[in-house]
Structure 1
Amino acid sequence: MTDAVDRLAVAERAARAGAEVAAEGFRSGIDVETKTGKTDVVTEADRAAQRRVIEVVTEEYPDDAIVGEEEDELKAVPDEGDAWIIDPIDGTNNYVRDVPVWTTSVAAVRDGDPVAAVNDCPALGDRFVAGPEGTRLNGESVSVSDRTDPEAFAVAPTIWWDFDHREEYAAVCREIVERFGDMRRFGCAQVTLGMVAAGSLEGTVTDVVPNPWDTVAGVYMVRQAGGVVTDLDGNPWRHDSEGLVASNGEAHDELLAAVRDVA
């Protein structure tokens, strides 16, 4: 317990430091580059923020593995040992469009399982924190929504579909619209998962294989707030799972059905 609390404190410091770097470049006319596709964008702020997060983490844990979206860090989570998962700016497409829904995400994992997580959202003024004692938003304890009626649910599709899979995206959206009360899309998986943890959404779904830096921190937040996160078969979600279905635990099967038939 003590080690997890210590790691949470470092995760908070690291996420805050990285978020401060990212915030300096927000709405500043920063140059935008593309990676593997026209919507897969990156900026120098992404790289600088990741370097700052790593600096803070390695001051305390110099021997731990680092999994990061940018540059030459690991791209998969080790199954054994201590590691840190970093997304310096989750929601870069929002960031470069001056939309404030983005976050600096830091998660500490041991043997592949998260023990601490922080999503720092400076443009929103929000900080989601999850540790052994639950999930907090801006210092206040939060829990998943207590709604039970799917027709009152707000559900978000998340993790973007490539152009060759847009029919699947359209099918998932149709299922959400037909099964649930309302639909949202925020363009930032970590913030979306935080909203499920805080009760602002009843669920979020995708049928693609997500990257760990887009998901691990937020998944831990949902679980520590009393929610459920599974793969497409209903098994407990892991960092290497196909698909992701997160909910408040009510009507989870209905959420699974919304993606299972189109995967």
Structure 2
Amino acid sequence: MRDNIRSVSSDLDLALRLAATADAITSDRFRALDLVVSRKPDRTPVTDADTAVEDAIRAVLAAEVPADTVAGEERGGTIGTGRTWVIDPIDGTKNFLRGMPAWATLIALVDGGTPVVGVVSAPALGRRWWASAGEGAYTDTGRRLSVSGVDDLDDAYVSTTDLGSWVKYHSREAYLRLVDACWESRAFGDFWQHCLVAEGVLDVVAEPIVNPWDVAPLQVLVEEAGGRFTDLAGVATFEGGSALSTNGRLHDAALAKLTS
């Protein structure tokens, strides 16, 4: 149940302010010569900017909504049935540390197990996207987002993050079946490709392995843009360990290619 005192608009306003806090840190540390990089137990990289952003966001949340819980990529936490802020301080850390501009801070408010607010802020790209349940999805140009009207895989643009991840976590052949059925394939990767589905630029995005903080804000963004977001089993959840974003019209056909 949502807190009767707070509204979706006030939660979105807070999320946007959290994104501004994050942008100030990440923009300062991007391409910094003294960037500190280490490896987590799963061998994925983490920088001093990742931890600084999550700590700063947690500090604001503790001051403004102390009753809410927080789950973040770097400091942990559990996503329960109440109000939980789900944070990925830098999605696309490998891009960040290599000086590539395709990275973003992801912020979601999950209530009752469902994302109700989502913000994606990519300052090096000069872009930000946001959505709230029942209020639509928007981008920093002020445009309300809407998915494409493509209704045949033959005409579809499809994207993933890394073909190698399909070999390890799902099936390379399954993804190639989907690619072969579509018009064009790309690998924009991570958050950006899901935002492009919400914008109507891409039609299908499939990922065989994701964490909840990778996609929580993207679920509400895609859905509020009129699309459909599930895991690869077809369940509408950000906690399924995989992700499929589409314009909705192509969802079942894409699932069929990935699971046949």
- Asked if Structure 1 and Structure 2 have the same fold, meaning a TM-score greater than 0.5 normalized by the shorter chain, the answer is yes
CA positional deviation for 1:81: 1.0
Q: Which residue of 2 aligns with 1:255?
A: 254
Read off the aligned partner of 1:252 and give its amino acid letter.
H
Q: Which residue of 1 aligns with 2:104?
A: 103
2:233 matches 1:233 = yes
CA positional deviation for 1:242: 4.3
**How many angstroms apart in 2 are the aligned matches of 1:161 and 1:6?**
41
**How many angstroms apart in 1 are the aligned matches of 2:201 and 2:72?**
28
Matching of residues 165-204 of structure 1 within 5 Å: 165=168, 168=170, 170-188=172-190, 190-204=191-205
Q: Deviations over 1:148-200 (max 9, x none)?
A: 2312211112478659717x453244223211011111232x22211111111
Q: Which residue of 1 aligns with 2:118?
A: 117
> Is the CA contact 2:231–2:238 (under 8 Å) kept in the aligned structure 1?
no
Q: Are residues 220 and 206 of structure 1, via their aligned partners in 2, closer, same or farther at CA, if it must alter by over 3 Å?
A: same
Q: Which residue of 1 aligns with 2:70?
A: 66
> Is the CA contact 2:166–2:175 (under 8 Å) kept in the aligned structure 1?
no
> Is the CA contact 1:150–1:251 (under 8 Å) kept in the aligned structure 2?
yes
Q: Are residues 170 and 125 of structure 1, via their aligned partners in 2, closer, same or farther at CA, if it must alter by over 3 Å?
A: same
For the aligned residue pairs, the C-alpha RMSD in angstroms reads: 2.1
CA positional deviation for 1:24: 1.0
Aligned with 1:36 (options 41, 49, 55): 41
**How many angstroms apart in 1 are the aligned matches of 2:247 and 2:93?**
27
**How many angstroms apart in 1 are the aligned matches of 2:146 and 2:198?**
6
1:119 alignment partner, SS class: strand
Segments of structure 1 that go 5 or more residues without pairing to the other structure are none
Q: Which residue of 1 aligns with 2:160?
A: 157
Matching of residues 106-145 of structure 1 within 5 Å: 106-131=107-132, 132-138=134-140, 139-145=142-148
**How many angstroms apart in 2 are the aligned matches of 1:162 and 1:145?**
27
Aligned length: 253
Q: Which residue of 2 aligns with 1:46?
A: 50
TM-score normalised over the length of structure 1: 0.89
> Is the CA contact 2:163–2:172 (under 8 Å) kept in the aligned structure 1?
no
**How many angstroms apart in 2 are the aligned matches of 1:121 and 1:41?**
19
CA positional deviation for 1:37: 4.4
Segments of structure 2 that go 5 or more residues without pairing to the other structure are none
